[in-house]
């Protein structure tokens, strides 16, 4: 009988999780868009179910809601009968989903800290080799390379193996750096104007970056602040609930708070990432506000540029991610970037996450 293969029809196994998993992915997206409003997200999901037939007789929306409760993703609101809140488990799941969506699945590494270009007695072995020098530790010596050198230099003909100091090769160590980053998010009203939702992608990027730092760079510091008429710091767990307010854009307040936070960090590398779609239009003056939403007000612009210069003196580079295409706004960002000696990206919302991820990794390889 001739050897060969016999094929038959593939029948996938029935999975009780199939209905839940497919609905859950959509639900997580809707929760982000609705800023954590479970009721609104479920209403949208019901409308999608009517239009696209997401459920069937075997697994309905009622089953999905019960599973959300049983699995610990939502719980009942004690203040309002029939209402639900998302749980801490959901908050973490949203951050992980954002990380996978924006940055892709990251491979696990050892201790997962950033590297600087500096070599010597560092924390982690690199692939670079050099000759042994006085003061090198024994665990840095590459025995395989050193023995090979001894064989080449002295041979094996005499019957006595000889290993000298000149045969030793050492594997370089790389220093791991610790970084402090402040992520500034513009929550002025323009982030939802003109028929474009800009705040949801900004939230997703912030959640993905927060989860990245937590998983891959746990020794780093990441602070998140939002700025509208004023600026204030928020916890990472608050990101899914972030909403745009009826605010102007007080970039000065945001930068002042960011620099105050970074002054308290004793890390060698410090930086600010700023996500914005508009020009600075507001300043705090006493108990009130100075506002001008028409064009670039020199009073507001000059104070903003002064803070860019102050950050440069403190060796804090500012990377601006401008999600607007107006030429006069780009001109302002260019001037701001030149004063700070930082960087600027004019990004679509689609490419925002990848830009921030790559810049974060790139900046971690240098000590400012």
Residues of the chain below pLDDT 70: 1-18, 102-128, 134-135, 156-159, 172-176, 324-325, 347-354, 357-358, 361-368
Using one digit for the tens of pLDDT, what is the confidence trace for 12-24?
Answer: 444 444 589 999 9
Domain residue limits at 161: 124-174
Neighbours of 71 (CB within 10 A): 13
Alpha helices in 159-297 (DSSP H): 199-216, 251-263
33 and 132 assigned to the same domain: no
**Predicted pLDDT of residue 48:** 93
Domain annotation covers residue 107:
no
Q: What share of the chain is helix, strand, coil (3-state, %, to 5)?
A: 45, 20, 35
- Do the beta carbons of residue 236 and residue 146 sit within 8 Å? no
**Predicted pLDDT of residue 368:** 41
Distance CA 141, CA 144 (A): 9
Domain annotation covers residue 329:
yes
Domain annotation covers residue 110:
no
Domain annotation covers residue 204:
yes
74 and 146 assigned to the same domain: no
| β-pair partners for 268 | none
Write down the mean pLDDT value for the chain: 81
Q: Is 346 helix (H, G, I), strand (E, B) or coil?
A: strand
Residue that is last in its domain, among 145, 174, 203: 174
194 and 60 assigned to the same domain: no
Domain annotation covers residue 13:
no
Domain annotation covers residue 101:
no
**Predicted pLDDT of residue 253:** 97
The total number of structural domains in the chain stands at 3
266 and 356 assigned to the same domain: yes
Residue that is last in its domain, among 32, 65, 86: 86
CATH of the domain at 291: 3.40.50.410
58 and 160 assigned to the same domain: no
170 and 59 assigned to the same domain: no
48 and 134 assigned to the same domain: no
210 and 260 assigned to the same domain: yes
361 and 291 assigned to the same domain: yes
**Predicted pLDDT of residue 131:** 77
278 and 291 assigned to the same domain: yes
Domain annotation covers residue 24:
yes
Domain annotation covers residue 15:
no
161 and 185 assigned to the same domain: no
Using one digit for the tens of pLDDT, what is the confidence trace for 170-224?
Answer: 876 555 578 899 999 999 998 887 777 888 888 888 888 888 888 878 889 999 9
Residue that is last in its domain, among 57, 86, 115: 86
170 and 186 assigned to the same domain: no
**Predicted pLDDT of residue 364:** 62
């Amino acid at each position: 009988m001739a050897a060969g293969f016999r094929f038959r029809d593939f029948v996938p196994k029935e999975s009780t999780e199939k209905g839940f998993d497919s609905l859950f992915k959509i639900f997580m997206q809707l929760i982000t868009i609705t800023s954590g409003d479970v009721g609104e997200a479920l209403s949208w999901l019901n409308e999608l179910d009517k239009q696209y037939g997401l459920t069937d007789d075997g697994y309905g929306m009622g089953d999905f809601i019960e599973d959300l409760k049983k699995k610990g993703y939502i719980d009942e609101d004690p203040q309002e009968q029939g209402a639900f809140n998302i749980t801490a488990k959901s908050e973490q799941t949203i951050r992980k989903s954002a990380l996978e969506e924006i940055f892709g699945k990251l491979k696990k590494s050892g201790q997962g800290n950033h590297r600087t270009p500096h070599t010597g007695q560092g924390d982690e072995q690199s692939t670079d080799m050099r000759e042994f020098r006085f003061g090198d530790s024994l665990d840095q010596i590459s025995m395989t390379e050193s023995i090979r050198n001894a064989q080449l230099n002295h041979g094996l003909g005499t019957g006595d193996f000889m290993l000298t100091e000149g045969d030793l090769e050492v594997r370089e160590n790389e220093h791991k750096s610790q970084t402090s980053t402040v992520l500034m998010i513009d929550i002025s009203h323009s982030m939802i104007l003109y028929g474009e939702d800009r705040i949801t992608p900004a939230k997703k990027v912030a959640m993905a970056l927060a989860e990245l730092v937590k998983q891959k760079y746990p020794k780093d510091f990441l602070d998140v602040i939002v700025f509208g008429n004023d600026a204030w710091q928020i916890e990472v767990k608050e990101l899914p609930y972030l909403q745009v307010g009826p605010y102007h854009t007080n970039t000065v307040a945001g930068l002042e708070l960011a620099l105050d936070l970074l002054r308290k960090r004793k890390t060698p590398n410090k930086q600010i990432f700023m996500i914005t779609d508009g020009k600075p239009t507001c300043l705090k003056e006493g108990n009130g506000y100075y506002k001008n939403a028409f064009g670039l007000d020199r009073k507001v612009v000059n104070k903003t540029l002064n803070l860019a210069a102050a950050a440069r003196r403190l060796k804090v580079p500012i990377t601006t991610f401008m999600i607007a295409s107006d030429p006069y706004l780009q001109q302002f960002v260019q001037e701001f970037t030149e004063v700070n000696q930082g960087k600027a990206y004019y990004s679509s919302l689609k490419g925002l996450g990848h830009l921030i991820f790559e810049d974060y990794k790139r900046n971690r390889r240098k000590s400012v």
